[in-house]
């Protein structure tokens, strides 16, 4: 399956040639700094460990994120399905050249359309670090609402130091989507 926007497209699954680049990105502290499992990502030693880790973390549907020039820049997922009611959204724009270019907005729109349209979900949830302000702003623009802050439950790397961060839980209901 393939989904398109003007800037990017999503292709179901990850291609074998994506894994070496993913491993490099997972070892980049600037890229991984707000991810709840940053230390696990940094500790991955090889492609097999990476594949096992992604399979465990993203037990669901994964799409590679590509530019329209076929450049792999990250991945996105819907996982942790609770029947036909709810699933969790994840997005990883791992190529820093595409940060701040509204790629995350395109990916989120496509995944919400897929989750609510194709999969008929009633609610899509996500989590992020309370320090990941740009992500929170993006999710709020797309219609997600904050539902909970779990204090000091993840270790992140912020302003060149390791610290505890709260996790912001957010959700969007099928009838509140802003596309």
Q: With H, G, I as helix, E, B as strand and everything else as coil, classify residue 7.
A: coil
| Enclosing domain of residue 64 | 2-176
Q: With H, G, I as helix, E, B as strand and everything else as coil, classify residue 10.
A: strand
Q: Look at residue 82 in the predicted model and tell me its pLDDT.
A: 80
Q: What is the CATH number of the domain that holds 24?
A: 3.40.630.30
Q: How far is CA 15 from the centre of its chain?
A: 17
Q: Look at residue 58 in the predicted model and tell me its pLDDT.
A: 63
Q: Look at residue 83 in the predicted model and tell me its pLDDT.
A: 76
Rg (CA), the chain: 15
Q: What is the pTM of this model?
A: 0.92
Q: Look at residue 176 in the predicted model and tell me its pLDDT.
A: 66
* Dist. CA 88–CA 156, nearest whole Å: 21
| Bridge partners of residue 169, in order along the sequence | 127, 148
Number of domains forming the structure of the chain: 1
Q: Which one, of 66, 84, 165, 158, lies nearest residue 124 by Cα?
A: 84
Name the helix (H) or strand (E) containing 19: helix 19-26
Q: Look at residue 57 in the predicted model and tell me its pLDDT.
A: 67
How confident is the chain (179 residues) per 10-residue block, as mean pLDDT? Answer: 93 95 94 90 92 79 96 95 89 95 96 94 96 96 96 92 96 76
Q: Look at residue 5 in the predicted model and tell me its pLDDT.
A: 94
């Amino acid at each position: 399956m393939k989904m398109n926007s003007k800037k990017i497209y999503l292709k179901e699954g990850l291609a074998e040639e994506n894994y070496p680049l993913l491993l490099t990105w997972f070892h980049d502290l600037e890229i991984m700094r707000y991810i709840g499992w940053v230390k696990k990502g940094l500790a991955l030693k090889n492609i097999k460990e990476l594949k096992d880790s992604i399979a465990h973390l993203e037990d669901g549907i994964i799409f590679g994120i590509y530019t329209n020039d076929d450049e792999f820049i990250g991945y996105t997922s819907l996982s942790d399905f609770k029947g036909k009611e709810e699933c969790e959204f994840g997005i990883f724009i791992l190529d820093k050249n595409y940060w701040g270019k509204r790629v995350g907005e395109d990916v989120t729109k496509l995944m919400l359309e897929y989750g609510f349209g194709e999969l008929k979900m009633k609610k899509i949830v996500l989590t992020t670090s309370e320090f990941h302000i740009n992500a929170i702003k993006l999710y709020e623009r797309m219609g997600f609402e904050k539902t909970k802050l779990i204090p000091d439950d993840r270790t992140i790397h912020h302003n060149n130091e390791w610290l505890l961060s709260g996790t912001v839980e957010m959700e969007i209901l099928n009838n509140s989507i802003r596309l």
